[in-house]
Amino acid sequence: VDVKDKGLGEFGLIERFRRGVPSNDRVALGIGDDCASIRFTPGAEVLVTTDMLMEGRHFRPDDPLIEVGGKCLGVNLSDIAAMAGRPIAAVVAVALPKARAVEAGLALQEGIVAMAGRFGVALVGGDTNAWDGPLVVSITVFGEATDRGAVRRSGARPSDAVLVSGPLGGSLIGRHLRPEPRVREALALHQRLEIHAMIDLSDGLAGDLRQILQESGNLGAVLDADAVPIHPDAVAMSLVDHRSPLDHALSDGEDFELCFTVDPDDADRLLASPPAGVMVYLIGRIDEGPGLRLRHADGRVEPCDVRGFDHLSGGGA
Amino acid sequence: VDVKDKGLGEFGLIERFRRGVPSNDRVALGIGDDCASIRFTPGAEVLVTTDMLMEGRHFRPDDPLIEVGGKCLGVNLSDIAAMAGRPIAAVVAVALPKARAVEAGLALQEGIVAMAGRFGVALVGGDTNAWDGPLVVSITVFGEATDRGAVRRSGARPSDAVLVSGPLGGSLIGRHLRPEPRVREALALHQRLEIHAMIDLSDGLAGDLRQILQESGNLGAVLDADAVPIHPDAVAMSLVDHRSPLDHALSDGEDFELCFTVDPDDADRLLASPPAGVMVYLIGRIDEGPGLRLRHADGRVEPCDVRGFDHLSGGGA
C-alpha cells in the first residue's frame, strides 16, 4: 500500500490515528496541537521513560506489527512498573517504510491502542514520518509514583531477600513480542510492603540484578540455582542449543518480570500470602561481598559470569 | 570508529553520556534508573511534545551531527514555545549506525547538550541502540504552561491580527539545521498580552496558519503579500529555482518562527513597543470567510493555494 496511491498523506494518516485513540481524565489537550497537555497529581513524582524498537534489531521484518506496537508500549509500561508507578499517558514517534506506510502505521497503532486500553494509558501525541529505511517506533511514557514514592534500583540492603515475579528465560521464541508489564503487580506489592529496590528484567536476570547491586553501593548477591524459576521456553531453547535452562533464565532477557529486594521478614510474609494474582519467587539474598554468585544444589558457591544483553555490541533480537 | 574496537559497549557509551549532562532543580532522578523522575509545579499544565529526525529524510548523511542533535532538541523546544510554555526536561532515543556508533552518539550528544544548556533543559533519560540502518534520533520534551495557561492553536477569533516573529523562507539552504526556538520570545509576548492562538512554523506559513484556521472553527485569513517578512535565504533560493521569494516564505517550512493571533488593539500596542529582543511582523487578519487568501499590492485578493510540507508524501529535507 503506497501512501500516494491511497491518497492519504501525513494529515490523512494522523487523522485516522486520532480516531479511537484512548484518553483519560488526565488529558487536558490530546493529539493535534503543538504539544499535548497533561494534569498530574499535584506534588506527585512524575515518571518518564522512553524505548525505541528497530526492525531487524528488536523485531524481524515478518513479526506482526500489531505485536511490535504493543511491545513498544509494553516495555515502557514495564519500566513504569519497575518504579511501582501508575502509567498515565504516552507519545509515539514512528519512521514508517514508505512502500507500506499506511498499512504499517495502522497495524502498529492497533497494537499500541490495545495495550494502552488495557492499562488505562492515554495516547496524547506523536510524530509520523515515512522514509526508505526500515521501521522504527519510539514511545515515551509518563506516569506517577504513588504517595509511597518511586522505587529506585539503588535501595537494596545487605541481607535483603531477592525475589522475581515470574519464570524466566527463552522469551526469544516469541514471548518477547507479547510482554505483560507488571504494573498492577508492582502496585499491589508496593502497597503491601516496602520494596527496597526494583528493576524490570529486560537485559537478563544476571545483568539486571547487577544494576541493582552496583547502584546500591556495590553490594553482592547469592542466588540459589535451584530457586530461579525457569520458563518452559527456556527448557525448549535448551533442547536446541544445549545451553542449560538456568543459563537462559539468567541471561536471555526480555522477560519483563520484576526483580526486587525486600526485608527478609517481609519476604516470608509475602511468600506465605502473596497479593491476589501476583506470583513471587524467592531466589536469593543480598550481601556485602561484591558481585553476583550462584549457590548450586551441592552447596558450591561460584561467581556468576553470564553477561546481560548489550544493545550496542550484542546480537539482535 | 567501531563500537567493539573501542571496547565501548552500550554501558560504556551510556556512562559517557551521563557525564556532563545538564540537569536542573526539577530533576528528582536522572539517567540511570528504569524511569526518570521530575517535579512539576503543582497544578501546572504539563506540556509534552515529541519529534523524530531520520538520516536521508530530515538531514543529509554529511550534515554535522552536532547540528542534527541540536536541531532535534530545538524543534521540540519550538513546540513548547508555540504553547508559550517553559521547557524543563528531555529524553533522547537513538538508533546509531553500527559502524560509527560511538562517534555519532558523542557528536549528537554534544549538540543536544549545548542546546539543552542554552534553555536550561535537563536531559533525564534515553535509549541508546545501534543497528545496520541509518541514524534516527527521537526526542521528547516536557515543559509547563505558565499560570496564564497553554496557548492553543484553536483560539483565533475573527478580526484578530496575524503576526509572525521573524523572516521566513529558504531555510533548506542550511538554517533549518540551526533552529532558534522562540521560547523566551513566546514567554515575553504571553506575559505582555493575551495570545489567542499560536503555532510554530515548521511546515510553512500557509500550511501552519491553515491549522490555526481549521482548529479555530474553520475561520479564514487574508495575508498582505507585501507584509510577509522574507528571509534573505528565500531570495537566494529564488535566484536559483525562479520560484518567488514570497512562495518560499509561504511554503518552505522549518523556519521555527512563531505565528500567532491577537486582538487588533493589542497588535497595535505590540508593534509600537515590542518586548526587548522580540521581533514582530503584522502580516494579516483573521476573518470569517473560510480559507487562506492573499492580498496583493494592487488590491487583488486571491486564494492562497500553496501547500505546506507533507512529511509522508513530500520530498526529504
pLDDT tens-digit profile of B127-147?
999 999 999 999 999 999 999
A125:B312 CB<8 A: no
Closest Cβ opposite residue A133 in set B32, B54, B152: B54
CA distance A270 to chain B (A): 24
pLDDT score, position A1: 28
Quickly state the pLDDT bin for B156 (edges 50, 70, 90): very high
The whole-angstrom distance between A245's CA and the closest CA on chain B is 26
B38: chain A residues, CB-CB within 8 Å: 45-46, 48
CB contact under 8 A, B125 and A313: no
Selected for mutation to probe chain A from B52, B148, B199, B216 (highest A CB count within 10 Å) is: B52
Partners of residue B302 on adjacent β-strands: B294
Q: How close is the nearest chain A Cα to the Cα of B299, in Å?
A: 33
Of B35, B147, B215, which to mutate for an interface test with A (greatest number of A Cβ within 10 Å)? B35
d(CA A64, CA B140) in angstroms, rounded, equals: 26
Say whether A145 and B37 touch across the interface (CB within 8 A): yes
Position A18 scores a pLDDT of 75
User: pLDDT at position B165, please?
Assistant: 98
Taking an 8 Å cut-off on Cβ atoms, the answer to whether A150 and B92 are in contact is: no
Contact B215 A33 (CB under 8 A): yes
In this predicted structure, what is the pLDDT of residue B3? 39
pLDDT of A10: 58
CA distance B223 to chain A (A): 22
Cβ–Cβ below 8 Å for B49 and A9: no
Assess whether pLDDT exceeds 90 at residue B12.
no
DSSP string, A87-119: EEEEEEEEEEEGGGHHHHHHHHHHHHHHHHHHT
pLDDT band at B5 (very low <50, low <70, confident <90, very high): very low
User: What are the residue ranges of helices labelled H in chain B?
Assistant: 10-18, 65-82, 101-118, 183-192, 205-215, 232-241, 245-251, 264-272
- For residue B6, the chain A residue with the least C-alpha distance is A313
Q: What is the pLDDT of residues A224-247, one digit of tens each?
A: 999 999 999 999 999 999 999 999
**A125 backbone dihedrals φ, ψ, rounded to 5°:** 180, 175
Question: What is the rounded average pLDDT of the residues A201-216?
Answer: 96
**CA B118 – CA B292 distance, rounded (Å):** 36
Q: How many other C-beta atoms are found inside a 10 Å radius of the C-beta of residue B242?
A: 8
Residues β-bridged to residue B168: B230
Residue with C-alpha cell 503576526? B163
- Give the Cα separation of B88 and B127 in Å (integer): 19
pLDDT tens digits for B19-64?
Answer: 778 999 999 999 989 999 999 999 999 999 999 999 999 999 999 9
Residue A48 to residue A35: CA distance in whole angstroms: 16
Measured CA to CA, the distance from residue A183 to residue B305 in angstroms comes to 50
Burial of A276 (0-12, 13-18, 19+ CB in 10 A): exposed
Chain A residue with minimum CA distance to B101: A312
B184-233 pLDDT, tens digit per residue, is 999 999 999 999 999 999 999 999 999 999 999 999 999 999 999 999 99
Give the distance from residue B231's alpha carbon to the nearest chain A alpha carbon, in angstroms: 24
Q: Which residue among B39, B51, B128 sits closest to A127, beta carbon to beta carbon?
A: B51
Q: Answer for the pair B137, B92: CB distance below 8 angstroms, yes or no.
A: yes
pLDDT greater than 70 at residue A11: no
Q: What pLDDT score does B10 carry?
A: 58
Question: What is the spatial distance between Cα B247 and Cα B229, in angstroms, rounded to a whole number?
Answer: 12
> Under a CB-based contact definition with an 8 Å cutoff, are residues B313 and A3 in contact?
yes
Q: Which residues of A touch B49 (CB under 8 A)?
A: 34-36, 91, 125
Mean pLDDT value of segment A209-231? 97
For the stretch A34-78, pLDDT in tens is 999 999 999 999 999 999 999 999 999 999 999 999 999 999 999
pLDDT of residue B11: 57
The 8-class DSSP code of residue B186 comes to H
pLDDT band, very low/low/confident/very high, at B17 (cuts 50, 70, 90): confident
CB nearest to A132's CB, from B3, B56, B127: B56
**Whole-number Å distance between alpha carbons of B189 and B98:** 45
Q: What is the dihedral of CA A192, A193, A197, A202, to 10 degrees?
A: -20
pLDDT average, residue stretch A84-95: 98
Give the gap in angstroms from C-alpha A147 to the nearest C-alpha of chain B: 13
Residue A166's pLDDT band, with cuts at 50, 70 and 90, is very high
Q: Which residues of A touch B36 (CB under 8 A)?
A: 47-49
